[in-house]
Amino acid sequence: MAMSYAALGNALHTGEKSYGIIPHRRRWYVLSMILMAISVSLLVGRGVNPGYEFKGGSHFTISGTENASTASAIEVIAELVPDAIPKVKVIGSDKVRVEMGALEADTAEVVEDALIEAYDITTEEMSAGLIGPTWGSDVSGKALKGLIIFIVLVSAVMSAYFRAWRMASAALVALVHDLVFTVGIYAGLGFEISPASVIGFLTILGYSLYDTVVVFDKVKENTANVTAQNRYTYAEMANLAVNQTLIRSINTSVVALLPVSAILFIGSFLLGAGTLTDISLALFIGMAVGTYSSIFVATPVEVSLREREPAIRKHTEAVLTAREAGTGVVDADGNVRVGALVRGAHKGVAAQPKRKRRS
């Protein structure tokens, strides 16, 4: 009979059931490197698709029209500005937005009048504007500055909180992984990057960091006094921590993705493309990737860094040597499965079996 979801969570927490996430970390490294290679190749080959806010250009927004279609706007632009490549999108049921390259003031006025006539609206229902390349460059610079400040602050806070630069480094690796992969998806699928998308990117970094901190907290708790016992290695106790927080990570992700999915659906199909869609799309992709990285990237990288420490490496060798002598308590995959022994690991030290009294 299949184990219920609640029973599975309890079994993972007590150590009665365990998945070999850390013992098999090399396969996750390979998978992540393949994903990163694909993302980087897309970024280099196809490049990102920046919105007109970054490139600069003219925009026209038609409101209150009974003919909310893109055909009329495309015909007007093709007739008046044949060299232009406009982006026309319907927003909601009665609004159309046209974005294109920068226009001269006289040309922009002619286009505006033609759009008013084509959609049979009043001048009050038409809004137009021009964003220069300087403003777009300024927006790009501030977005990059915000990202750098975020990474610097994360490094300082993580190092101070965990008192271990290795955890901070592993968290940053996961953050870079999430950002590159998310932007790579945008490049591959041709999604437009707007200021709202950039806000979404920064938000998902915070979400990914939160999920990683939760897992690292458990790793720190389980491994606090790992060298004081000789039954489990650092990697095994870290693997236990990942399994103990696995159900929580899944639940948190599902709870977060459901409302974001609803917002993405409403923004895309009911209200039309816009700021709401840009933010929710970035959040949806980033949250899914962030959940993966907190489990399969952050902790495995942290363990790989810690195993380079002389004390941890010496302790691991001692445990494995003792295990070869017949005192091991893990399976072939390196998973801790004995619940009675694992319960003591909540304080960082694996519980020892009771010794039989001599008669």
Tell me, yes or no, whether 31 lies in a domain.
Answer: yes
Domain co-membership, 21 together with 68: no
Tell me, yes or no, whether 332 lies in a domain.
Answer: no
Pick from 217, 216, 214, 241: nearest CA to 350? 241
Domain co-membership, 43 together with 73: no
User: Which residue range is the domain that position 218 belongs to?
Assistant: 16-49+135-314
Q: CATH number, domain at 250?
A: 1.20.1640.10
Tell me, yes or no, whether 90 lies in a domain.
Answer: yes
* Cα 322–chain centre separation: 41
Tell me, yes or no, whether 321 lies in a domain.
Answer: no
Q: What's the total number of domains in the chain?
A: 2
Confidence of residue 356 (pLDDT cuts 50, 70, 90): very low
Domain boundary among 83, 114, 131: 131
Backbone angle region of 320, left / alpha / beta, with phi > 0 → left and psi within -120 to 50 → alpha: alpha
Domain boundary among 104, 131, 158: 131
Domain co-membership, 94 together with 215: no
**For residues 77 and 158, is the Cβ–Cβ distance under 8 A?**
no
Residue 340's pLDDT is what?
A: 35
Q: Which residues pair with 89 in a beta bridge?
A: 97
Q: Each residue of 198-219: pLDDT tens digit?
A: 877 878 777 788 888 889 999 9
* Residue 3, C-beta contacts closer than 8 angstroms, at least 6 positions apart: 11, 17
Tell me, yes or no, whether 301 lies in a domain.
Answer: yes
Domain co-membership, 116 together with 235: no
pLDDT: which is higher, 296 or 103? 296
Tell me, yes or no, whether 343 lies in a domain.
Answer: no
**For residues 230 and 260, is the Cβ–Cβ distance under 8 A?**
no
Which stretch of DSSP H or E encloses residue 279?
helix 275-293
**For residues 297 and 32, is the Cβ–Cβ distance under 8 A?**
yes
Domain co-membership, 21 together with 165: yes
Q: Each residue of 227-280: pLDDT tens digit?
A: 888 888 999 999 999 999 988 888 888 888 888 888 777 766 665 555 667 777
Domain co-membership, 233 together with 100: no
For helices 133-162 and 165-189, give the axis angle rounded to 10 degrees.
150
**For residues 98 and 73, is the Cβ–Cβ distance under 8 A?**
yes
Domain boundary among 82, 112, 131: 131
Pairing assessment for the beta strands 57-63 and 126-131 based on DSSP bridges: antiparallel
The reply to whether the predicted model has a pTM over 0.85 is no
* Residue 115, C-beta contacts closer than 8 angstroms, at least 6 positions apart: 60, 62, 72, 73, 76, 98, 126
Tell me, yes or no, whether 350 lies in a domain.
Answer: no
- Mean pLDDT check: name the lowest of 144-153, 269-278, 349-358: 349-358
Confidence of residue 337 (pLDDT cuts 50, 70, 90): very low
Domain co-membership, 38 together with 169: yes
**Amino acid making up residue 159:** S
> Is residue 79 scored above 90 in pLDDT?
no
Domain co-membership, 154 together with 231: yes
Q: Each residue of 289-323: pLDDT tens digit?
A: 888 898 999 999 999 999 999 999 999 988 888 88
Domain co-membership, 92 together with 181: no
Tell me, yes or no, whether 98 lies in a domain.
Answer: yes
Q: Each residue of 87-96: pLDDT tens digit?
A: 888 877 778 8
Domain co-membership, 82 together with 159: no
Domain co-membership, 108 together with 177: no
Q: CATH number, domain at 125?
A: 3.30.70.600
d(CA 295, CA 290): 9
Q: How does the average pLDDT of the chain come out, rounded?
A: 79
Domain co-membership, 102 together with 146: no
> Is residue 15 scored above 90 in pLDDT?
no
